[in-house]
Structure 1
Amino acid sequence: MITEVGGESVEFTGERVAGAPLTWGQQSIWHSTRWLEDGDPYFNLPWVLPVHGRRDLKTVLSALGALLDRHESLRTTWEDTPRGPVQQVTGHGELRVEVVEAAEVKPRQAAATVAAELAATGFDYARELPLRCSVVCDSAGRPGALALALTHFAVDGWALDLLAAEWRALLTGRPLPAPLWHPLDQAAFEQGEGAARGARSLRYWREAMDRAPATLFGERKQEPERPRFVKVGMESAALAAAAEILAARWAVSTTSVLVAATAVLLGEMTGQRDIALQFIVGNRHDPRMRAMVGTAVQDGLFVLAIPDGHVADAARAAHASAMAAYRHAHYDPAEQRALRDEPGRPDLSAYFNDVRSFPGWPNRPRGHPAELTGRTRTFDAGAWDEVDASFFLSTGPATDTCQLYLLTDTARLSRAAAEAMLRAIETLLVTSVTRDVPLAGIGELGIYEETR
C-alpha cells in the first residue's frame, strides 16, 4: 500500500535566465509531438533514483534542489511562438514534491509504481517544469527512493546516467564542479560554428538515401491485425553469449553483430540487397555534449549493401556502415525533413535502437550459447492503432540477458512473423559461433519460413 503523507516545496535558483531557439535534438522531438494529442505521455520517462544510506528527508530534498540548480534543462519550458518554438530557462522557482509511504513493499519497488503514475499524463511544456517528483519512504518514514517523471525534451538516456552519478554524490554532500555546457549553449553552437557539421551530415544523408531501396518491404501487403501495430519481445542469454563471442572474433561491436543479423534476415525475407534502417543516435561525441544534461538524440541513417561471402563479412560491412551513420546524425532537422521530402526519396520507416549502457552483457550466465537456448522466452509487449514506423527493433537495458523488442506494422509483418524474426536472429548468431554461415545458405538453416 502506498499512502500520501505530505508535501514539500523544493526551491531552486540558477545563474542564467534566457531564451533561445531549440537545439537540434529538441527540434526532433518537437516535430514528433505535433502528431500527438494534447496530454499524450508518449515522450514521458518514468525514472527511479535510489536513496543510498540512511538519509533524512531534508538531505534528499536538498540534493534534489541541487540538481535543479545545476542543470538548466531541468528548469526549462518550451513553447511555440510566431518566430518558431523556443526554450526558456527559468532563473528561480519551486518544485512541489509529494511525500508518500510504502507500507508493504520496498520503497524502490513502490517508487517504480509511483513514477509510472507520474508519467501517465503529458506535460504542459509551456507552463510546467519538465519533471514531477515524489519521495518514497519506508514504514518508518525514512526516504528510500525518489520517483520521477521527466519529459524527453529535458533529458535522454545519457543525461539520466549523468544525473544518477551526480545524485549519489549530492546525497553525501560531496562538492561537484559546475556544469559548463547547457542546451542554451548547444543551441548557440548549432546556430554558429556547428552549422558546418550539420551540413556534412546532410551531405551524407543525401548520398545514403541514393543507395537506399524505395521501400523496405516492397509490395508486401497483407490484412493487418487490430490493433495494427504490435510489439513482441525476446529475452535470450544465448543471443547475448553469441553476440559477445562473435564481436570479439570479428573485431566489431555487439551492436554491429545484432544489426548485421537483422539486416541479413530482412534481406532474406524481402529479397532486397540493400537494407536501410534509421538508428537512434545519442550524439555525445563532442566532450562538451558528453557532460550536458539535455536531449541530443537524433536519427542516423544506416544503409548496408549485403555483401557476398559469410555472415562475418556482413558484420564487418555493417560495422563500417554503422560508424558512418553514428558520425552523421547531428544536423538541422528542418533541413533533413526537406531533404527527405524531395520527390523520389525512399520510405525510411524502419528503425534500430540499441539502448544499452554497456557494450556487452556483464551479468549473463556463462556457458556455450547453444546450451543456453532453452532459457529463451518470447512474449507480447504491446499493441497500438497508429505508430510512425513499419519496423522497429530495439534492445533492452538488461545486463544478464539480451532483450530484443520488435514493433511491426502487421500489414507488412504479422505478430507470428515478428516473433519468428527474433528467434531467427538468435538461431543465426548461435549457429555462427560454431561454423561460418554463408549468406547464400541462410535459407537452408530452416529458421525463416514463418516470416514469409
Structure 2
Amino acid sequence: MDTTTYPMTIGQLSVYRDVERMAPERLWEANLQPLVWDVRVECGVEDVWRALGDLAMRHESLRTNYVVDESGAPLQFLAAQDAKEVLDRVERGVADVAELPALMTAKSQEVLDIHHGIPWRAWVFTEDGAPKHVLCIVHHIAADGAASLIMQDDFHALLAGEELPPPSGQPIAMALDQQGAGAHRLRAAERHWRRTLEAAPRRPAVAELTDMMQGAILTTGIPLEDLHASAARLEVSVSTVVLAAYYHAVREVMGSSAALILMVSANRFDSVLAGVVTSLTQWAPILLDFDGGETLPELVAKVHGKALTGLKNGICDPDAVLRFREEYFEQAEPPVDQGYNLNTILAPPGFAPRPEQRPSAIEFAPPARNFGPGFYLIVRGIDTVDCIVRHNRPDLDQETVRRFLESLQRTLLEIAGLEAID
C-alpha cells in the first residue's frame, strides 16, 4: 500500500491538536453529530454500500489517516486505495429502522480511530428489507458541518447514478498550498491574533475557569425566516445579526464595553474551498468595543465590519494559536480574559417554511459535553432559533446567565421586528 505522507492542512491540524488534549474517556466528543440521510430512490443495501464506497473515493478525507513523525511533523496519508478496501475496513452494518435511535446514540459515543482506521462508520436501516435511512458518523477531522452537507448531496447523487463533476479540491493539495504559495495568509492571521489579544480585556481576579461545566438552553420561539429577512434589510448575514446580539448581551450583563469574541469560521469563502470535504473550521478572534450610544442597526453595521476582518483571518496555524493562548491567557500579568465563543449553525433562507412565533423559555441542565471553551454559545435553527450555553466561568452564576439569555432574547426579537409573546 502506498503510504506517502503529506503535511496536514491547518484545519486538520486544528482538530488533531484538540484531540491530543482530550481525556481518553471523552474522545468520542471529537466525532461529529450523527448524520442521518433518507434513501430517496428504490435500491438494495448493496447499492447503498456502493454509493458510500464511491463517496470515499471521491473525497480523500474519507480514507485518510494521520500521524506525527519522530520529528514532530503532523502528517496525513491515504489509507485506502480503492472502494473495496474502504468497505472491507470501515465499521458498518445493517439494522431494522426501529433500531435507529439506539444505534445513533451508541455509535456517536464510540471513538473513531484516525490513525489506523477509516474515519467514519455507517449503518443502513431497512424497513421490510428495503433501505430507508443511512446513519453516517464522521470524525470531525475528516468533515466539518459544511462538509457533511456536501457529503449528503454527493451520496444522494451517487446512489441515484448521477454523474458528478470532480470535487473542487482535496485536502492534500490544500495542505501543500498552505505550506507554499499560501503561507503568507497564515502569517497575516498570526499578526491578527497577536494584535487582537494585545488589545483584549484582562481577566477579572475571580474569573479562573473551573472544571465543572454548566448549561442552559434558550428556546427563543423566533422564526428563523424573520431573522433572515431582517439581516437582508440590514445588508448583513444572519450570523452578523446573531454576533451583534451576542455582544450586546455580554456588554449589558458583564458591564464592560470591550469583549473578546471567538467566532467559529467555516473558512469557505473561496470557491475552491467551498466544495472540499475536510475540516476547515477554526476560531476567528474578534475584539468588539463600542460605547453603547449607537442604535441597534448602527451596532449591527459596526459589528459587521469587525467580523469581516476577523473571519478574513480565520485560517491560522493552531500551534501558533496555542502559543498565543499560553502567552496571553496564562503567562501575561494580568492574563487576558478568555472571552466568549460563538458557533452559529442556522439553515439558509427558504430551507424550511416559516412557522408561527412561539413563546420563549429558559431551561438549565448539565451540558452533554464537558469539554471546550470557557463560555460557549451555540445558536442553531432550522425553522425557529435555539440558543445553547455551556460555561465554566465562576463569575457567572445561574441568575447572571439567565439575565444574559433574557437580554439576548430581547435583542433578537427587536432585530426580527417581533413582540414577546406569552
What's the TM-score, normalizing by structure 1?
0.82
2:21 corresponds to which of 10, 26, 35: 35
Q: CA deviation at 1:86?
A: 1.6
Please, which moves more after superposition, 267-276 or 353-362?
A: 353-362
Taking structure 1 as reference, are residues 434 and 179 closer, same or farther at Cα in structure 2, changes over 3 Å only? closer
What is the distance in 1 between the residues matched to 2:45 and 2:350? 37
**1:6-85 → structure 2 map (5 Å cutoff):** 18-38=4-24, 40-45=27-32, 46-84=34-72, 85=74
What's the TM-score, normalizing by structure 2?
0.87
Taking structure 1 as reference, are residues 245 and 422 closer, same or farther at Cα in structure 2, changes over 3 Å only? farther
1:122 corresponds to which of 111, 117, 131: 111
What is the distance in 2 between the residues matched to 1:326 and 1:412? 29
CA contact (8 A) 2:375 2:393 kept: no
What is the distance in 2 between the residues matched to 1:71 and 1:384? 31
Q: CA deviation at 1:432?
A: 5.5
Match of 2:410 in 1: 427
What is the distance in 1 between the residues matched to 2:247 and 2:235? 18
Taking structure 1 as reference, are residues 236 and 157 closer, same or farther at Cα in structure 2, changes over 3 Å only? same
Match of 2:375 in 1: 391
1:254 corresponds to which of 235, 238, 244: 238
The answer for unaligned runs of 5 or more in structure 2 is: none
CA contact (8 A) 1:233 1:419 kept: no
> 1:412 and 2:395 equivalent?
yes
SS in structure 1 at match of 2:309: helix
1:329 corresponds to which of 300, 311, 314: 314
Identity of matched residues, %: 23
1:211 corresponds to which of 195, 199, 205: 199
Give the AA of the match of 1:68: A
What is the distance in 2 between the residues matched to 1:223 and 1:336? 19
SS in structure 1 at match of 2:315: coil
What is the distance in 2 between the residues matched to 1:316 and 1:272? 20
How many pairs does the alignment contain? 404
- 1:320-353: CA deviation from partner (whole Å, max 9, x where unpaired): 1111111111122212322343353623342011
Please, which moves more after superposition, 153-162 or 407-416?
A: 407-416
What is the distance in 2 between the residues matched to 1:133 and 1:32? 24
Q: CA deviation at 1:171?
A: 1.1
What is the distance in 2 between the residues matched to 1:415 and 1:239? 27
What is the distance in 1 between the residues matched to 2:107 and 2:378? 25
Looking at CA atoms only, which structure, 1 or 2, has the larger radius of gyration?
1
CA contact (8 A) 1:275 1:304 kept: yes
Taking structure 1 as reference, are residues 364 and 18 closer, same or farther at Cα in structure 2, changes over 3 Å only? farther
Q: CA deviation at 1:63?
A: 0.7
- 1:46-84: CA deviation from partner (whole Å, max 9, x where unpaired): 211211122111211111111111111111111232123
Match of 2:342 in 1: 352
Please, which moves more after superposition, 386-395 or 150-159?
A: 386-395
Taking structure 1 as reference, are residues 37 and 261 closer, same or farther at Cα in structure 2, changes over 3 Å only? same
Give the AA of the match of 1:351: N
Q: CA deviation at 1:96?
A: 4.4
What is the distance in 1 between the residues matched to 2:417 and 2:113? 54
The answer for unaligned runs of 5 or more in structure 1 is: 1-13, 367-371, 436-452
Match of 1:6 in 2: none
1:364 corresponds to which of 345, 354, 360: 354
Q: CA deviation at 1:219?
A: 3.5
1:265 corresponds to which of 238, 249, 260: 249
What is the distance in 2 between the residues matched to 1:190 and 1:263? 32
Taking structure 1 as reference, are residues 175 and 275 closer, same or farther at Cα in structure 2, changes over 3 Å only? same
